[in-house]
Amino acid sequence: METRMSQEEKAKRYVIVGGVAGGATAAARLRRLDQEAQIVLFERGEHISFANCGLPYYVGDEIKESERLLLMTPELFCERFAVDVRTKSAVTHIDTAKCIVHVETAGQESYDEPYDALLLSPGAKPLRPPIPGIDSPRILALRSVPDAEALRRLTDLHAETGRAVVVGGGFIGVEMAENLRGRGLAVTLVEAAPHVLAPFDTDMAKIAEKEMNENGIGLVLGDGVKAFKETAQGVLVRLASGREVAADFVVLAIGVSPDTGFLQASGIALGERGHILVNERMETSVPDVYAVGDAVMTIERSAKKAGALPLAGSANRQGRIAADNMAGGRRVYDGFVGTSILKVFGLTAAAVGKNERTLEREGLRYGEDYRVVKLHPLAHVGYYPGAQTMTLKLLYRVRGSVGKVLGAQIVGAGGVKARIDVLSTAIAMGADVDFLTSLELSYAPPFGAAKDPVNMAGYMAENELAGLVRFLSAERLKAAREAGVRVLDVRTAIELQSAPAASDVQIPLDELRGRVGELDHAVRWAVLCKVGQRAYNAVRILMQAGYEAEVIAGGYTSLSMESFTASPEAAAPRGSEEGQADLCGKGAGQAEAAEELDLTGLSCPGPLMKLQKAMERIAPGDVLLARASDPGFYADSAAWAQSAGHKMLSRRKENGLVVVKIEKAGAEEFGTDDASEDG
């Protein structure tokens, strides 16, 4: 008995505040490291270890039962890890001198709990600024399972017929907009910044915005909420511009702030915005008190600058490191590079490291200090069915002939995650662009290419550093033209017809060697093709003929996005008369196809040329169905069909492919002629 007592006395007492990502990870790790310890976990809510990241998909009914979000119950956690889990128990203050936390339960009890070591993982709470009318019960945020259940009840009530406004175009806002649209609501997303998804640059965010528009989401950008007003029907959202958007309910997703109000008088050092300040061992300013997750300020890895990253991966990693250190280890958290990913309807958008905005804020100049390569590769080789395209933007720092990888953004229909993870690893290692060219990445036709998009980005940067090519970003073309740069378009006639672009001279690449003398030697040439690859070959011809020339990065595909402006108009609710009319209109797409054409994996100008040939083969009035992986085919095919006099019956995006049905011109004329002859 005596021996047992002394063992219990010696056993360490760990107290953990917050029972989800960081807290639950740390509790389980502590138990694995120390079977004797007493571990008490306090959680204010009723659930622990739930899947916050799955909440939007539960509202959208992609995840059917809320139980699937509960990765662990308190009972199972207690059984498996012998952790004393106390839910509905909020820690309201901490006495760090006496090493006790004060707890208040939902049942109004309150008591003190002592600790030898304390871990704080209280997370972050949704921002709710004092905007007039914000306290309406129809304005909801999303953090917990009960929040998701409340939002799901409202969504069920208004599914197919209602209208929702999502305020905030960050990850949660975009995911919520998609999920609400999936339930048939009319959805408008309002964002005060000029574009959605802050980790991305404008040019890349536009691709996501276009996808959202094409799927019916209205996007009101650069306009903040001034007030909410409850009406008999719902809520009226008043914007700074004077625009008003009516909704049955509103999702508030304008960001989060650390949930650290209970630490104000604790003596634990907090940052300006309430983040808990920690060192690389996840220790706070007070001995034996550790903190992790959304509530802490850590460091951005490459610049070694203070920063916060409210994402699940870092909370989990930090929880593990803190637990090791609490149990006597000496583990270090190296900081974050900021890797994120999300689904935007048929696309995946992912980013890591710095974007152009951040670099310019830090005083780095485009062209001089940092450079950008942009490409539109296929996720796997074009000849294997189902190849989908992506847009990859790589940012690198120039120091002489060395280029250090600083950031990357990828938006595409497939293969995005694998590439961003490789680039994230490269940035975490502090790699140079030539490292990307040296990477041996897995390849077989269904999965990739012998020159992986990551290798390709490296080759392009390496070529630029070696002076073999120079890239001009499409966003900077207008200014360059004003400064005297002239545009040479090396696309083919059929491409120029379907996708015209302002240029000074047009010479198809395959004729350029013979016609290079037609170009003025005294000016600088910016060369345009569909994605940049033919322009690179053209620039090599020009440079070796003594011209100054550069590639318009990403070609027409990137340039055409420049003129895209998000539409604020939301598609009607799916079950409304208008929504039904939209669906009926699409009935034209049900016409039977005389021929099906697989254009996936073809690079420009292949898809249009094959389309033209196929149309020549079929009879007037027959329908051709074509599938292409090039996202530009959506616009190109319509423009070409119109210019050739054919009728576009339907156009849609399906699993990252563009699927079009075109009726060959001439049937009606034939019919009329026949009739008149017969008559």
Catalytic site positions:
53
Residue type, 275: H
Within 8 A by CB and 6+ apart from 493, the residues are 508
Q: CA separation (Å) from 58 to 71, 173, 222?
A: 14, 14, 29
Closest listed residue to residue 430, CA positions, set 347, 362, 335:
335
Instruction: Pick the closer one to ligand FAD by CB: 427 or 431.
Output: 427
Within 8 A by CB and 6+ apart from 244, the residues are 236, 237, 238
Instruction: Pick the closer one to ligand FAD by CB: 408 or 538.
Output: 408
- Applying CB under 6 A, among 293, 353, 448, 631 the residue interacting with ligand FAD is 293
- Applying CB under 6 A, among 132, 137, 313, 585 the residue interacting with ligand FAD is 313
CA 260 to chain centre: 28
Instruction: Pick the closer one to ligand FAD by CB: 150 or 496.
Output: 150
CB of 191 to ligand FAD, least distance (A): 17
Q: With contact defined as beta carbons under 8 Å apart, do 459 and 437 qualify? A: yes
Contact map string, positions 60 to 99, toward ligand FAD, x by CB under 6 A: ------------------------------xx--------
Under rule CB under 6 A, residue 320 binds ligand FAD:
no
Which residue blocks in 82-201 are alpha helix, DSSP H? 145-158, 171-182
CB of 644 to ligand FAD, least distance (A): 45
Distance, CA of 88 to CA of 44 (rounded, Å): 5
Q: With contact defined as beta carbons under 8 Å apart, do 535 and 528 qualify? A: yes
Within 8 A by CB and 6+ apart from 116, the residues are 12, 13, 14, 99, 288
Q: Which of residues 260-279 bind ligand FAD (CB under 6 A)?
A: 262
Under rule CB under 6 A, residue 55 binds ligand FAD:
yes
Stretch that binds ligand FAD, among 310-318, 621-629, 635-643, 648-656 (CB under 6 A): 310-318
Q: CA separation (Å) from 571 to 161, 390, 501?
A: 11, 26, 30
Q: Which of residues 143-202 bind ligand FAD (CB under 6 A)?
A: 143, 172
Distance, CA of 440 to CA of 114 (rounded, Å): 53
CB of 207 to ligand FAD, least distance (A): 19
Q: Which DSSP string corresponds to 504-533? A: SEE--HHHHHHHGGGS-TTSEEEEE-SSSH
Under rule CB under 6 A, residue 488 binds ligand FAD:
no
Ramachandran angles phi, psi of 314, nearest 5°: -70, -35
Stretch that binds ligand FAD, among 287-295, 460-468, 538-546, 582-590 (CB under 6 A): 287-295
Instruction: Pick the closer one to ligand FAD by CB: 147 or 550.
Output: 147
Within 8 A by CB and 6+ apart from 124, the residues are 256, 257, 258, 259, 294, 295, 310
Stretch that binds ligand FAD, among 309-317, 529-537, 550-558, 594-602 (CB under 6 A): 309-317
CB of 25 to ligand FAD, least distance (A): 8
CB of 572 to ligand FAD, least distance (A): 27
Distance, CA of 153 to CA of 451 (rounded, Å): 49
Q: CA separation (Å) from 121 to 30, 301, 482?
A: 14, 21, 54
Within 8 A by CB and 6+ apart from 419, the residues are 350, 390, 392, 408, 410, 452, 453, 454
CB of 201 to ligand FAD, least distance (A): 21
Residue type, 487: V
Instruction: Pick the closer one to ligand FAD by CB: 109 or 577.
Output: 109
CB of 163 to ligand FAD, least distance (A): 21
- Applying CB under 6 A, among 15, 39, 121, 218 the residue interacting with ligand FAD is 121
- Applying CB under 6 A, among 53, 364, 441, 665 the residue interacting with ligand FAD is 53
CB of 146 to ligand FAD, least distance (A): 10
Question: Which residue's Cβ lies closest to ligand FAD?
Answer: 293
The crossing angle, in degrees rounded to 10, of helices 633-644 and 606-617 is 40
CA 133 to chain centre: 31
Which residue blocks in 633-666 are alpha helix, DSSP H? 633-644
CB of 141 to ligand FAD, least distance (A): 9
Stretch that binds ligand FAD, among 197-205, 292-300, 412-420, 523-531 (CB under 6 A): 292-300
Instruction: Pick the closer one to ligand FAD by CB: 310 or 532.
Output: 310
- Applying CB under 6 A, among 17, 164, 291, 405 the residue interacting with ligand FAD is 17
Closest listed residue to residue 284, CA positions, set 446, 433, 94, 494:
94
Instruction: Pick the closer one to ligand FAD by CB: 45 or 532.
Output: 45
Instruction: Pick the closer one to ligand FAD by CB: 106 or 479.
Output: 106
Stretch that binds ligand FAD, among 119-127, 480-488, 509-517, 519-527 (CB under 6 A): 119-127
Ramachandran angles phi, psi of 67, nearest 5°: -60, -30
CB of 79 to ligand FAD, least distance (A): 21
The footprint of ligand FAD on this chain (CB under 6 A) covers a number of residues equal to: 32
Q: Which of residues 244-263 bind ligand FAD (CB under 6 A)?
A: 259, 262
Contact map string, positions 26 to 45, toward ligand FAD, x by CB under 6 A: ----------------xxxx
Q: With contact defined as beta carbons under 8 Å apart, do 588 and 648 qualify? A: no
Residue with tokens 């006790």: 100
Instruction: Pick the closer one to ligand FAD by CB: 312 or 501.
Output: 312
What are the residues binding ligand FAD (CB under 6 A)? 17-18, 20-23, 42-45, 52-53, 55-56, 90-91, 121-123, 142-143, 172, 259, 262, 293-295, 310-313, 315
